[in-house]
Structures are given as structure tokens and as C-alpha cells.
Chains A and B, each alone.
Chain A
Amino acid sequence: MSVAIKIENVVKKYEKTTVIPNLSLDIKNGEFFTLLGPSGCGKTTLLRMIAGFNSIDGGYIKFDDEVINEIPAYKRNIGMVFQNYAIFPHLTVKENVEYGLKLRKIPKVESDRRVEEMLRTVKMYDYKDRLPDRLSGGQQQRIALARAIVIRPNVLLMDEPLSNLDAKLRIEMRSVIRDIQKEIGITTVYVTHDQEEALAISDRIAVMKEGVVQQVGTPCQIYKRPANTFVATFIGSSNLVRAKIKFENDDKYIVFNSEFKIKMNNLKKSVKDGQSVVVSIRPEELKISNKGLKVKILKGTFFGKFINYEFRLNDDIVFGDNKVCEFVQDISDVNIFLKENDEVYLEPDLKRINVFDEDGSVNLVEDVILYE
């Protein structure tokens, strides 16, 4: 049956390089949990440690309360779905799905019933006697999913299962996976580098960078209140601007330049007067106004529902190397279209923007959740 996964102070080393220095996570029974991060962040390594294909060089991984460190992969009762599908090419669709049941010596009648039910669930029943070589990527991935779930595994592990599919199929398969997972209620650990996919599919997401978990939370929490500038720019996009904190009377202000400051009363108590900060503003959190940051438009790209503008700030206060910023303008509520070299004021939405400390590592807004 489905289990909760406890990862406690886990370490992974290859030769002398440490890929995962010390990582802990609690994955609840039945939830859809995603490991998200850029390539090389250790997400696949961690998944393969749960699966048993990578050794665990420190700490413990538990299924419910049982430590599984020394249990070999084939005895862990996991269902795994691979990036390249890994369908057995010499077996038919039905034989592929049957594979794990045969090893478990499930009686023929019971096995046939489960295979049929599973193939119908993934809508591949009509193909049951085909060899897999003529099937499309999407169909192969459905079989891989069926093969992994039919054995009723403790956990379902998915390693970038959609990244070899084309864009349209990816979105279709994403809801297939999500629906089946909810229907069966199996604990699922899903690895992806695609933030949009992670937001769409997950109950909770762990954002990873260089083997370290940056933030764990629901898609909404992570998008709205990212823990640091890495999360802010990796999930969606954010413009990062340097500013200073100023206390006036009982109020806290963020001062961008001599002309523009905004009142922010939802900052943490630890914030000090005069402190340098980095403000993160998402493209949709800016609107054209008569006050705010003075910018010069570089380029506008028309997307139908909205227009995306690239602009440059008049003051050199952008954080990081990329000095080009972006904002989006919803077509429905405006009828001013900006041209190249237009100069306008952009005003950030103070309820939605995030404020980080000087090096971007800590979010200074009150309601940030680092780990839920």
C-alpha cells in the first residue's frame, strides 16, 4: 500500500564531489510531490536514491517507519516511470504491463483482470497485443505508467516522464498522470526541470539547487512568496531591483530612488532602517502609471492575450547581470500601446512584490513559508 516517505539528512557523493550535502524532506502518504530544479541540482539523484539505483552515502530514507537504505531496488516495491519510457521492446503491451505481476506470482485470473482494468484506465486496451516499437511516445508513456501502477507499488517515482514528448502531448499527458494519481491515491515523487509543469501537476513542490532544498510548499505559496531570488527567478520570471529600507514614523518604506518610494508594512520585524534590499517584481505586478520607476521601452512582443514589453530602467539599480527587465500588459484593460524608446512610469503592486535581503538569500516579507 501507499506509504509516506521520510528523507532524513541524506548525503550523496560521487568520488570526491558531494552532490547532496544534507537533505531532509517529508513526503506525505498519497500526495503528488515534485522535485524541481535546474539540471545538475541533484533531483534525479535523489529520486534514484529513493528507487534504490543510487546508494545512500549518509542519513536515512524511510517508507513509513521502515529504513530502506539497505533494501535492494527490486525488493522496494516501487513503480518507476522513466524519461525514455523504458518499455521492453521484445514484449507486447499486455506482457509489459503483466511483467511485474508475473514476478509477484499473482494468479492468472486476478492478473488478467488487473491488467485489463489498468490498460482501460490509460486507454491502451485496444493495443494490448501490439509490440511497442510502432507506438507513439505518448502511448509508450501510458504503458509505462500502467506497468508501474499495476503492481500496486508503495510509491510511484517519475523521472522527467514528459520531457521527450511534444508540447501539446505534454499538456495532455500531464492531466492524465494527475487524474490517475488522484484516482489511485498513491504517493508520487515527480522529477522535472519544467517549472510550469511542476506548478500545474503538484500538490507540493521542493525547489532544489546544487543539492540543497530551497523551499517546499504548494505551487501557489512558492509562486507568490518565493524563499529567495533563485526561487523567484526559477519559478516564473521576476525583475530584480536594488533598493533601500527607510523607517519614517511607524511606517517602513522601500526607497528605489530620490523620486520614488513605496510603503511596505508587511515586512519582518528584523528589517533595519537603511538596510539594502533586492526587490523582486514579476512582469504582471507592474502597471503603467503617472508615478513609479521611470523606464525606456526596448521592444514589445504581441502574444494575443497580452503584450510582453522589454524595458531598461533609467537608474542603474537592476540586480544581477541581466539589465533588461520585462512587464506584461493585459490587452483587455488598456488601449495604450507602447513603442520602442517610449518613456513611461511603471508602478509595482505593493501587495504582491517580494523583498529580499542584500544578497537575495532571504525573503523579508512576513508571510513567507519556507517549508510546509
Chain B
Amino acid sequence: MNKKIKWDFWSIVTLSILVIFALFLIYPLTTLFIDAFKEPLTSKFTLSNFQKFFSKKYYYQALINSIVSATSVTLLSIIIGLPIAYLMTAYNIKGKKLLEILIIISMLSPPFIGAYSWVLLCGRSGVVTKFFKQYLNLNIPTIYGYAGILLVLTLKLYPFIYLYVSGALKKIDSSLIEAAESLGSKPSRKLVFVIIPLILPTLLAGGLLVFMNAIADFGTPVLIGEGYNVMPTLIYSEFISEVGGQANFAAAMATVMVFLTSIIFLIQRYIINKRSYVMSSLRPIQTGKLKGIGNYLAHIFIYFIVILSIIPQITVIYTSFLNTKGAMFLHEFSLKSYRTVFSRLGKSIANTYVYGLVAIVVIILIGMLTAYISTRRKSTITTIIDTVTMFPYIIPGSVLGITLLLAFNKGYIILSGTATIMIIAFVIRRLPYTLRSSAAILYQISPSIEEASISLGCSPVKTFFKVTAKMMLPGVLSGAILSWITVINELSASVILYTSNTRTMSVTIYTEVVRASYGTAAALSTILTATTIVSLLIFFKLTGSKNISI
């Protein structure tokens, strides 16, 4: 409004946030893209890195694998998630509350725990494999490769579809269905002609979210994929094998990856903008009763899926209390694994909590302030910030790790190997959850509440902390819980950035699994899962709701 720039609190906040994002996101990303077009030794501009990628089957096969597996996971998640969401919303399903919590837990536990416990169960020397071999003389199909990735990621990601779709279903007012029926639509047709079209945008959005998660996942394919290379594992191995050398080829692959995810992200945005309906439900759909065989089938289906998806957690917890001998679990209970963990790997637990807490404080602070400036102090700069904060959605964790490492292992700011770089990665990567939920609640708070406070003599900055921040808190928390849980479970960026001093639980679980130290991995996983569940329970207690914003 005023031509002269006023150096008030909010313009300082705006500039600081801009600087933070420029330094830790834009600059590293640009460095990466430039590196991708450089020749390793001479630093001349070239397309040879890309030529190399697209001419050797070993490389481009990973891209194809990534797309194929992510697409299959997405379709399978929809096939599983959609019916569960519909059945749970429209009908009485016994134990609904417990089922919902189990679904959320299976979604929020780290995917590599799923991969690793399926290996424990159905791997070459897994319990189930041995059982079939010994007693039935049957060879069960291999869990490694494409099938394993599909199994683990689907069971981990279908909850996104479930939560998205049941959220949309809850917003459909039953009068819409009654209107359809009064216009002569048979009850069986209402599903096809009313409900499906109304939830379609949500379903697509959820589907693309699943796709993004599946394609960016590192932990699952690295543990269960074996020969089945996908982009994140290929980028990781290329990058690690070039330590000390030039990372230009890894940078080129990362660029290809970011290009792919950007396209998907843009499609998702386009669909959401184009085809979303505003619905507010005064009278949500009443739950009905399923009768006879249908009722049994619905229960069997839902319980089967939910139990299947919670099996990894149970396996991990169970085996963590078993005595071990090398890579083998013995048939006796013991706390040996925990003793080993606390004596040898205690540092990683402390690191996880300390880094996690620092990161979440920074995330909440930046999230709230950024949400505020971009909803209440709109300007060109806040629009730029808004766009930039979307980037973490399209940058796979391993790529983010590489960009940060490449940018800060030389030059004026050297951060490689420090705790700071780990925390920066956590903040950048998991800020969007908190940011989005903060912005969402701000849109619900009328600006006149702030004006009322100002008119009563409270300065704008004081008003933010005294009134606005307090009113934002429930919304902020619903995003922060997700930021927190994903921070402590974060693997794909940390695995590139960690050193022996800054390793976290996730990284340690991964390295322990790689060196076949399954007992300690199980104990650490149990601690991590327990932390996740306790955090969730505290959040549910605190807010009195089961809503987390995804």
C-alpha cells in the first residue's frame, strides 16, 4: 500500500524467511542442476551425463522400474483404500476406532521397518518361508524385488487413500444422496452417479500423493528390492561410490528424478484446482447396517488388510525381545538386544530426540510465521516464498540430501558432517505439513479478531503472539505432529548426510539391517515405533480429536 518500505517486524520476518529458503533450498538445488550439466573433470557444460543415463539400460531401467512400481502401488492402494473408506463411512464396522488408529500407525511408521520385517518373515531364511518349506514342502514366491516393494509400499501407503477418501465422504451431505434418490436414482446407482464423482478429485489427489511417496521412497527398495533398482537407490549408490570424486552423474539422475516428480506435482495441482467441489456437510451420511454375507465379507476384508499392515510392527516388537546369536533369533526371550542398543547405539537415540526436537521447534516457528505472512501480508515476496515452500513435495529425500551435501561441503559455509545439516534437512523436508495446516487454520480465523485486539491498544506484533498464535495452535499442532513423526522416522536424506557422530535411529536401523544385526535393529525399531505411537496418543489426548492433516 505504501510506496516506502516500512521496516516493521513482519517485513523483517518475510526477508529472513526468504533468506533461509534461498540459502538452504534454492541455492543447493541450483547448484545441483548446474552440476548435472557439467563434465566431471573439466567442469565444461555438457549433456554427456544425461546421454550416459539414457543410453545404458542399467541406468534407465531404474527409471522405468520406479515408474512401474509407483504406478502399481498407487493402483493397488486405491483398490484397497477406497472400499475400506466407503465401508467404514457408510456401514457399522465393529472396532472402527481401533481400526482407524491402527491404519494411522501403519501409515506413520517408517516404511523400511515394513520392508525389513517382511524380510524376517518371508525372506530367504524367514519364519514363514521355513515353515512352508519344512512342513508343507512348498516354496513361497520370493519377497525380494518388485513383489516385495509392492507389498510393503501398498500396505504403508493405502492409508493415505483411506484418510483422503473418508474425509471427503464425511463431507458429503446426506441430502445430496436423498436428492438423487428422490429424483429416481436406485440406491445401487447412487454410488456410481453421486458419490464417486463427488470424491473423484480427492481420490486423484490421494492417488498422486501415494505415487509421489512411492517413487521417492528409498528405505523399502534398498532393503527388499535386491536386484530391482529404482531411482532413489541408484542415485544413492552412484553418489556414495563417487565419494571424493565428482557427483555430476548422480546430480544428473537427481535432475531427471526432480523433473519427473515436478510433472506429477503439476498434474496433481491442476486436477485439484480444476475439479474440486466445495462441500460442507450439515448432516453427514448415516451409517447403515450391512446384512448377511456382505457384512461378514466386509469385516473379513477390512480386518485382513489392517492386520496385514500392522504385522511388521508386531514382528519387530516381538523379535526385539528375543535372544540372538549373530543374525539368528533364538527361541528364548531376552533383553540382550536392548542392552546392546543402549551400550553401543545410545547416541543414535539421543540424536534422534535432540535433532527432532530442535527441528520441530524451528518448523513450528517458521511454519506459523510463513503461514501468517503469506495469508495476511500478501506481496510478491510472499508469493515467491509460497511457491518455494512447495519444493520439498517434489524433491525426494535422497536428492535433498545430495543437494545439501554438495552445496555445503565447500565454500564459505561448511556444514557437511554436522548436526546442523541434518536438522536443516529435517526442517526443509517436513516443514510443508506444519505450514499447510497453519495456513489452513489462519483462513478460518477472521482478520477482525486481530483488528479488535489492535483497536483495544495491542500492537500488531504483540497481537500475533497474544491472540493469533494462540488461536492457530490446534491447527498448527495437527500438522506439527506429522512433521515430528516424519522427522524422527526420516531416512532417505539422513542416510546421505549422517556421520558416525550424527547418526539417528532410522539410519542406525538401516545400517544394522545391512550388516545383518537384526536384533539391535528390531530393538531400535521398537523404540522408534513406540515413540511414534506415544506421540500420536499424546496428540489425540491434547487435541481431543483424531484429525491429523495430511
Contacts and interface: CB of A to CB of B under 8 A. Distances in A.
A77 interface: yes
Contact of B451 (A76, A82, A87, A99): A82
Contact of A79 (B451, B453, B454, B455): B455
A74 B452 contact: no
Tell me which of B451, B453, B457, B467 has the highest count of chain A C-beta atoms within 10 A of its own C-beta.
B457
A72 interface: yes
B458 A74 contact: yes
A227 interface: no
B448 interface: yes
B6 to A, nearest CB: 10
B467 to A, nearest CB: 6
Interface string A73-103: 1111111101110111110000000011001
Contact of A72 (B448, B456, B459): B459
A151 B470 contact: no
Contacts, number: 67
A51 B448 CA distance: 12
Tell me which of B1, B451, B453, B460 has the highest count of chain A C-beta atoms within 10 A of its own C-beta.
B451
B545 interface: no
A56 to B, nearest CB: 11
A191 B227 CA distance: 73
A209 interface: no
B2 interface: yes
Size class of A's contact patch? 20 to 34
Contact of B456 (A52, A53, A55, A103): A103
Nearest to B470: A90
Given A72-B459, A74-B457, A103-B458, A80 B452 contact: yes
Contact of B454 (A74, A84, A88, A89): A74
A147 B456 contact: yes
Tell me which of B446, B448, B470 has the highest count of chain A C-beta atoms within 10 A of its own C-beta.
B448
B457 A104 contact: yes
Interface residues of B, number: 19
B453 A88 contact: yes
A148 to B, nearest CB: 7
Tell me which of B448, B449, B452, B455 has the highest count of chain A C-beta atoms within 10 A of its own C-beta.
B455
Interface string B389-411: 00000000000000000000000
B194 interface: no
A78 B453 CA distance: 11
A73 B455 contact: yes
A309 B458 CA distance: 55
A141 B466 CA distance: 22
Contacts of A79: 455-456
Interface string B226-268: 0000000000000000000000000000000000000000000
B305 to A, nearest CB: 39
B471 interface: yes
Nearest to B452: A86
A350 to B, nearest CB: 49
A149 to B, nearest CB: 11
B51 to A, nearest CB: 50
Contacts of A74: 454-460, 463
B383 to A, nearest CB: 16
Interface of A: 51-53, 55, 72-80, 82-84, 86-90, 99-100, 103-104, 144, 147-148, 151, 157
Q: Which 9 A-B pairs have the closest CB atoms?
A: A100-B456, A80-B455, A86-B452, A86-B448, A82-B448, A103-B457, A74-B454, A86-B449, A73-B454
